[in-house]
Copies of this chain bind each other. A is one copy, B any other.
C-alpha cells in the first residue's frame, strides 16, 4: 500500500535512485530479502534513516524480516516514475550531446532519445547513435507533434534559456540541462541540471581544504620510493660486490 506524502524533501528524493541502485545489485545476485541492518551497512546510511526515507511513501520493511528486494525495487522504481517510458529529444549534438546520447541509449531504462536538433548545417541530416539530427528550427513542431516528454539541453550557456523557452512553449514535461546556467521554466516543468563545472569546482575546494594532508601522503610515497630505490641500488651493488669477490 503506497501513500504519498505531500512534502517530500529533495534530499530524500536524491537518495531514492541510490537505494534503487543497490537493490538492483542485490536483484542481480538473486538476493530475495535483506535485513535492514545489512542494507544499512551496504548503503552507508543508518537503518533508521532508511526507514524514515521509505516511510514517506508507505510501509515497506517488515519487523524481523527486513526488506523484500524485488518488491522494494519495483516500488521505488514506480515512485521515481520509472514504470513509464519517456520520449526525449537532444538539443545540441556536439561532443557532450553525443556522449549523453550514448549514455542514455546504453542505460536501456525506458528513456528513449527519438531525435536530436542542431543549428550547425553540417550536422543536420546526419545521425548520432542511430538518432536522426534535425534542424533546430523544427524543434517546437516536433516536440508538439510527438508529445515528447523530456528535452536534453547540451548547447552553450548563452543559448540554453532560449532552448528551454522553446521546449516549454511546445509543452515539454521535463528538462535535463547540461549547460552551465540556471534556467527559468514554468512551475509545472521539472528541471534537473548536471553542472559539471560546479562539481569540478567543489572538488577543487575539497582538495584545497585538505591539501596539507594529501601533499604529506604524496611526499611520503615519494620518500618511500626513493628509499626503496636506494635500497635496490645498494642491494644490487652488494650482489655485484659479492659476485666479484
Contacts and interface: CB of A to CB of B under 8 A. Distances in A.
Interface of A: 13-14, 16-18, 20-21, 44, 79-82, 84, 86, 95-96, 98-100, 102-104, 107, 109, 111, 144, 147, 149-150, 170-174, 176, 180, 182, 186-192, 194-211, 213-215, 217-218, 221-222, 225
B188 A14 contact: no
A80 B221 contact: no
Contact of A204 (B18, B80, B144, B207): B80
Taking the full assembly, how many copies of this chain does it contain?
2
Main secondary structure of the interface of A (DSSP, over half): helix
Contact of A203 (B109, B170, B190): B190
Contact of A192 (B99, B109, B200, B222): B200
B96 A201 contact: no
B201 A213 contact: no
A13 B202 contact: yes
A194 B100 CA distance: 13
A205 B80 contact: yes
A8 to B, nearest CB: 8
A109 B197 CA distance: 10
18 contacts: A17-B198, A20-B201, A21-B197, A44-B182, A79-B205, A81-B205, A82-B204, A84-B204, A95-B102, A96-B99, A96-B102, A100-B196, A144-B222, A147-B218, A174-B214, A187-B210, A192-B199, A192-B200
A60 to B, nearest CB: 17
